[in-house]
Chains A and B, each alone.
Chain A
Amino acid sequence: EGLSTPNLSYRTGPFAATGIPLMNGQRDYMLMLNARDGGIGGVPVDFSECETGYSTEKGVECYEATKGDAIVTQPWSTGITLQVLPKTNVDEIPILAPGYGFSPMADGSVFNWAFNMPGSYWDAASMILNEISGNDLSTLSGQKIAFLHLDHPFGKEPLPFLENMAEEHGFELLPIPVGLKEMQNQSAQWLQIRRERPDYVVMWGWGAMNAGALTEAVKTRYPMDQFLGVWWSGHDGDMEALGEAGTGYRSISYSAPQPDAQVMADIREYVFDKGDSLATESELDWVFYQRGLVISAMLAEGIKTAQDHFGEGEITASQLRWGLENINLTDERLAEMGMTGMVAPFSTSCSNHTGHAGGWMLQWNGSEWEVASDHLMPDSEAIRPLEVAAAAEYAEANAPWPIADCE
């Protein structure tokens, strides 16, 4: 009955606001494929959602409930990812965490089953540093960068990388945690920012934290052009509420909205206009919705790669693993998919499960996001050794842990 690709979604709970457009994008893309092409490679996609409310406990429930005939699991929270990660080795099911999860998952020799293309949090952090330093990290020396983050595995994820960079390039890193209960009342954090006068504030926020931080930033009169966020901190909904006051705020993104892309026309034709979508009209142009499309497109590409390689329509989980490991998303292929410019081309391999596609800086112009940079790339040379070391450490702590030979 098709390719089972469950999504551990969260349309409820404190993070629902940012989750919903992403989930809608993912869902609509798969519906569109089914309606337009009859699925992938002629096999319909069985895209189902299991609600987690961003709770790790429910995440495990969903994982267990859906893993049976699934060919992939999409845990959708760094916390759930961490929990499910070691299990996927045993259950032999690929875990797809596009742009989230554990950055060292890039090292496919250790994390055989985990994929986080097209970029990891360390990639994001690296690109942000590149952007503010004008691609010369040494200029950051002596500067102060506040790292405002959700006090949760997600928010802490880039810390090792940033600390490493701070030490190497001589800037001061000031981590400022925001507890789950303080997301909406960040006055203490912003008083600290006012006191410390950092040169930049980099935000790893999610859900209600983003809006809270932006509102406080305006109140504190922190210069918006020195305020940057990770790709989950660039939600149209939050920015629209802020309007003009948010002008200048930037968010790194591995995806870029392309309202005129062919794929959007298809989505409208095959899904939205038929009333099958859960999204609203204005949501279709949102960064998060379109990123949802990209996420499903990457999964579909993995499936297709596997189908082509194995010559079967109904692929298995381990066949999909191979597919995800051998994605080669070129410009031509993107054009074929009608998604030119929505994500940068990248390819994966046994040892590289992230793809490191890089991204763009999006900037809020007062009413919508604009691409405000050339294509940016992370500093792979700095990241790779850290990934390998962290992956090795993980494998050791969780021994016995299978290591693949990628040569």
Chain B
Amino acid sequence: MSVTDLEPYTTEDGREIGGVVMEMKNITLRFGGVVAIKDISFDIRQGEIRAIIGPNGAGKSSMLNVISGFYTPSEGQVWYQGQPRPAMKPFEIARQGVARTFQNIALFEGMSTLDNIMTGRLTHMKSSMLSQGLWWGKAQQEEAKHREVVEKVIDFLEIQNIRKTPVGRLPYGLKKRVELARALAAEPQILLLDEPMAGMNVEEKEDMSRFILDVNDEFGTTIALIEHDMGVVMDLSDRVVVMDYGKKIGDGTPDEVRNNQDVIDAYLGVAN
């Protein structure tokens, strides 16, 4: 199989990989003098786990920010579901089914775990302010209905016992998990994960891997993932993009990337 071959296929462990859902076309991103991303193109296919790796400061997070609309590329365009995506506010992009987690945890510290995850549902909630104010009819039903979805996510991520804890008090690793839960609660088409396993020990990484795989498997969610743990990246992802100094230096299956000399020089080092 090669990267340019876009026919749908089934992976060894039986997951369906479809056509391209999102494509970056010649993305360049500048901040004043700093060029964070230089003319990068790659695609993400339906149902796959796509990893983005590269040394620190390579521009990975910036790329994720471009995808989720927080940064507008200086040049180039993002294509989504076969269409060039017009200039949009980040919240509109989120409503199109793109959910994400953040490198430096961005939870709503003043709320409980449950409420944080409930915010993930808000793109699906429709009751008017008036009915919410009266807590009557639709608002109340809706609240209960979405609570059910959220509880499923909570069960799935095994965080039942911290449901009502203010997230500010949670340890780092659990915060990451809550953040994932919030993104999952949105039932996204594409899930963007920025270093979901940073600051975790092996056991926790295993848990997190399991969640990612299950999400991808059970809901067919497409996942783009930034991670520095090569073990995780190589084991989980279907394809890997490698960035260095804002440029793309490699793209392919884990094996292809692992053996790419540029990648070894710039990032992996001899150890791997």
A and B, direct touch (CB closer than 8 Å): no
A: residues with CB less than 8 A from B are none
B: residues with CB less than 8 A from A are none
